[in-house]
Amino acid sequence: MTTSNVVFIPAIAAACMILLGAPFAFKLIPRNPVFGFKTTWTLADDEIWFAANARVGRDFVVLGSLLGVHALLLWRRVYAWRFGTPPLVLVILLCLAVVLLRGFGLARRIAREKDLPREEPRKHRGG
């Protein structure tokens, strides 16, 4: 495996995570059925949508920043990643799973506090 693959993968993943997470971290994306962290609860309530998506967005930005630092250190040869691409991809996927579980947990907690039902949400009507 070449060094460029080990640097390229986290660099691209970092850029994607930061670019996708930043609008949600700043609560710029309104509730919609296409783009965002979607659960029954987030699609049913704006407060839950913004809270859960802001958490996932901030976590994406943090994870993307850490991956960016990792890629920069590899590129500058401060240290070497000797485990190959599959373990790197697995680490990234595990971190993404943790991010999504944190967002789901927050959405569930707020939904319980608001006493929202677990059934399918009503259809969102565009303005």
| pLDDT tens digits along 76-108 | 776 666 666 667 778 888 989 999 999 999 999
**Within-domain flag for 122:** no
Percent of the chain scoring above 90 in pLDDT: 50
Residue 58 pLDDT exceeds 90: yes
Q: Is residue 119 part of a domain?
A: no
Q: Which amino acid is at 75?
A: W
| Domain hosting residue 77, numbered range | 3-113
Query: b vs e for 4-13, b when ≥16 Cβ sit within 10 Å of the residue's Cβ?
Result: eebbebbbeb
Q: Is the dihedral of CA 78, 80, 81, 85 positive or negative?
A: positive
Amino acid at 35: F
Spatial separation of the C-alpha atoms in residues 109 and 105, rounded to whole Å: 6
User: Are 106 and 45 within 8 A, CB to CB?
Assistant: no
Q: What is the pTM of this model?
A: 0.79
Tell me the average pLDDT across 50-78: 89
Q: Give the C-alpha separation, 44 to 66, whole Å.
A: 33
Residue 125 lies in a domain: no
**In the prediction, which pLDDT does 9 show?**
79
Residue 11 belongs to a domain: yes
CA–CA distance, 120 with 34 (Å, rounded to integer): 16
Is residue 126 a part of any domain in this protein? no
Domain count, the chain: 1
Which of 74, 60, 52, 71 lies closest to 19, judged by CA? 60
Q: pLDDT value at position 118?
A: 67
- Average model confidence (pLDDT) for the chain? 84
Would 101 be classed as within a structural domain?
Answer: yes
In a domain, 58, yes or no: yes
- How much is the average pLDDT of 96-124? 83
Residue 48 lies in a domain: yes
Mean pLDDT of 11-37: 93
Q: How far apart are CA 8 and CA 92, in angstroms?
A: 13
